[in-house]
A and B are shown apart, each in its own frame.
Chain A
Amino acid sequence: MQPSLMGWVSFVVLAALIGLTSCQAWQATGGGDPAVQTGETNE
């Protein structure tokens, strides 16, 4: 069964929620930030 337009729009919302919150949760651990990974500080 092919999904309807509503199905696709809902899926995009769901995918954005999962993808973005996952990325932000990763960033909150310092992931993807070179400064955190190498231990550099502003000082």
Chain B
Amino acid sequence: MSGKRFGGQYSPGGGAQSGTGPKPVPPSNKFRGQAATSVDIRGLLLFVLPTPLLLGVFSAIGGGEPLRLIMLLAAYGALMLGAWLVREGQKAHAVYDARDIARPPAFPRKLCAAGLAAIGVALASWLSQGFGGILETTGQMLTALIFGAVAAVAHVLAFGIDPMKSKGLDDAVSAAELERVTDALDKAEAKLKSIEDYAHKLRDREIDERVSNLNATVRDMIKIVEKDPRDLSRARRYLGVYLKGAEDATRKYAENHERLNEPKIRDDYLALLKDLEASFTRGKDTLLLDDKTDLEVEIEVLRDRLGQEGA
């Protein structure tokens, strides 16, 4: 016994069922090729813990203590900036881990976050020991410095440090080549993100699905290039020219679709996305086939040599 799927003319894909609209987009895993992002509760807590300093700011305003107010604001600002930096550092680290070849992040966010935590804790400790007497008592300043140092060490042990070395560098790939490949892949990722953002703003389920399918295919190609950076020369046309074209088309469609409001433009745009996806799939298959051919040739040569030495 088979049931009839619920839906009508105006349901997603409903037009297709009645044979009047475009073909429904085949279902696909839109998260294919994307790393899962995890929420670290510790990173979120760092935003909450310095809240008493903010309350202290209000007390200092009420008490008419401008110097204390500035110090409290500085401590609060340092801790909040550090909390934000450590989250950004974790994201950058996750991107680095997800890639087979990658450069270290340009800015050491986690280390800077540790430094800011040290400054924030030292300032808060100094303020808590009776502001005003600190200039006379070096002991209080020393206590603040020790607290700050302990906070920095605890921060580094809790959140680690930023990646410092490039990875995926071996004999087959020179440093300059690695730079070139990571540059091209970073640019391709940025274009994918931009396409996703524009498509999402359109609030059109079918376009969203098509763009997700296209981007998943592009990410497959990026993975192939990461595995073997020598493939970049063959993938450059796809990751450069075609992807730029897709980004421009999506941007222009997003900017003009409401003003023009022509169904034909939407159909043309959907057809373009479909063609691009087919083209990227072909390109991806070609890369895999080339890799397979290279492997077969290598195995053949090795077997011939073994056969000759055995003879």
Contact = CB atoms under 8 A, between A and B. Distances in A.
Interface of A: 1, 3, 6-8, 10-11, 13-15, 17-19, 21-32
A14 B42 CA distance: 10
The B interface is mostly helix, strand or loop, or mixed, namely: helix
B56 A17 contact: no
A6 B157 contact: yes
Contacts of B45: 15
A30 B50 contact: no
Contacts of A19: 49, 52
Given A17-B150, A26-B52, 16 more contacts: A3-B158, A7-B157, A10-B154, A10-B155, A13-B154, A14-B151, A14-B155, A15-B45, A15-B49, A18-B50, A18-B79, A18-B124, A21-B128, A26-B55, A28-B128, A32-B55
Among A6, A15, A25, A32, residue most surrounded by chain B Cβ atoms (within 10 Å): A25
Interface of B: 42, 45-46, 49-53, 55-56, 58-60, 63, 65, 68, 72, 75, 79, 97, 117, 120-121, 123-125, 127-131, 147, 150-151, 153-155, 157-160
Contacts of A25: 52-53, 56, 72, 75, 123-125, 127-128
A26 B154 contact: no
A36 B51 CA distance: 20
A32 B79 CA distance: 21
B151 A18 contact: yes
A29 B59 contact: yes
30 contacts: A7-B157, A7-B159, A8-B158, A14-B117, A14-B154, A15-B45, A15-B49, A18-B46, A18-B49, A18-B120, A18-B151, A21-B128, A22-B52, A22-B53, A22-B75, A23-B52, A24-B128, A25-B53, A25-B72, A25-B125, A25-B127, A26-B53, A26-B56, A27-B128, A28-B56, A28-B127, A28-B128, A29-B63, A29-B65, A32-B55
A7 B52 contact: no
A21 B124 contact: yes
Overall SS of chain A's interface? helix
A11 B42 contact: yes
A18 B80 CA distance: 11
A23 B75 CA distance: 12
A26 B260 CA distance: 58
